[in-house]
Chains A and B, each alone.
Chain A
Amino acid sequence: MTAPPLPVISCRRLTKSYGRHRALSGVDLSVAEGDVFGFLGPNGAGKTTTIRVLLDLIRRDAGEVAVLGGDPRRDGVRLRRDIGYLPGELPMTSRRPARELLAFLGHLRGGVDRRAIDALAERFDLDLNRPVRGLSKGNKQKVGLVQAFMHRPRLLILDEPTSGLDPLLQQEFLNLVREVREDGRTVFMSSHVLSEVQDVADQAAVIRAGRIVALEDMDDLRERALRRVTLTFAAPVDAEDFARLDHVRDASADGSTLTCTVEGSPDALVKAAAAHTVLGLTSEEPDLEELFFTHYNNGRGTGPQEEGSDAAA
Chain B
Amino acid sequence: MLLHDVFGRFLMDSRRGIIGWMIGVAAVTALYSSFWPSMRETDEAMRAFVEQMPQLAESMGWSDLSTAEGYLGSTVFGLLTPILVTIAAIAVGTRAVAGEEEEGGLELVLAHPVSRYRVVLQRFAALAVFVALLGATVWVVLVALGPALDLDIPAARLAAAALATALIGFSYGAVALAVGAITGRRSYAIGGAAVLAVVGYLGNTFALQQEELEWLRFLSPFYYALDPEPLVNGVDAGYTAVLVAIPLFLAALGTAVFARRDVLV
Instruction: Show the binding face of A for B, using Cβ within 8 Å.
Output: 18, 52, 55, 57-59, 76-78, 80-81, 83, 85, 87, 89-96, 100, 103-105, 107-110, 144, 147
Given A87-B104, A91-B105, A93-B103, check contact A108 B263 (CB 8 Å): no
Q: Which residues of B contact A100 (CB under 8 A)?
A: 12
Docked complex Cα distance between A95 and B9 (Å): 12
**B264 in contact with A108 (CB, 8 Å):** no
User: Once the chains are docked, how many angstroms separate the CA of A58 from the CA of B263?
Assistant: 6
Stretch at the interface among B111-119, B145-153, B159-167, B236-244: B111-119
Q: Are A58 and B265 in contact (CB under 8 A)?
A: yes
- Chain A residues whose CB sits within 8 angstroms of the CB of B6 once the complex forms: 108
A90 to B16: give the CA distance in the assembly, Å.
Answer: 22
Closest CB in chain B relative to A181 CB, distance in Å = 22
Name the A residues within 8 Å of B4 (CB-CB). Answer: 103-104, 107
Interchain CB contact under 8 A, A85 and B111: yes
Which of A91, A92, A108, A144 is most buried by chain B, counting CB atoms within 10 A of its CB? A108
Q: Interface size (B, Cβ < 8 Å)?
A: 26
Q: A57-B263, A87-B108, A105-B112 are in contact. List 18 more A-B contacts (CB 8 A).
A: A18-B265, A55-B110, A57-B262, A58-B263, A59-B261, A76-B115, A77-B113, A77-B115, A85-B111, A87-B111, A91-B103, A91-B104, A93-B105, A94-B13, A96-B12, A105-B109, A107-B4, A147-B108
> Which one of B12, B105, B114, B265 contacts A108 once the chains associate, using CB atoms below 8 Å?
B114
Q: Measured between alpha carbons, how far is A1 from B4 in the docked complex, in Å?
A: 46
B interface with A by C-beta (< 8 Å) = 1, 4-6, 9, 12-13, 16, 103-105, 107-115, 260-265
Contact A104 B9 (CB under 8 A): yes
Residues of B near A76 (CB, < 8 A) are: 115
The answer on a CB contact under 8 Å between B262 and A59 is: yes
Q: Which residues of A contact B111 (CB under 8 A)?
A: 55, 57, 80, 83, 85, 87
Chain B residues with CB under 8 A of A104: 4, 9
- The interface residues of chain A lying within 8 Å CB-to-CB of B109 are 105, 108
B246 to chain A, nearest CB (A): 30
Known: A107-B5, A108-B112. A89 touches B104 (CB 8 A): yes
Q: Is B13 within 8 A of A96, CB to CB? A: yes
Given contacts A58-B264, A85-B111, A96-B13, contact A108 B104 (CB under 8 A): no
A92:B262 contact, CB within 8 angstroms: no
How far does the Cβ of A53 sit from chain B's closest Cβ, in whole Å?
A: 9
Docked Cα-Cα span, A91 to B1, in Å, equals 26
B109 to A, closest residue via Cβ: A108
Query: Of A78, A83, A90, A109, which contacts B108 at CB under 8 A?
Result: A90
User: How long is the Cα–Cα vector from A110 to B5 in the complex, in angstroms?
Assistant: 10
Contact A108 B262 (CB under 8 A): no
Q: Which residue of A lies closest to B103 (CB)?
A: A91
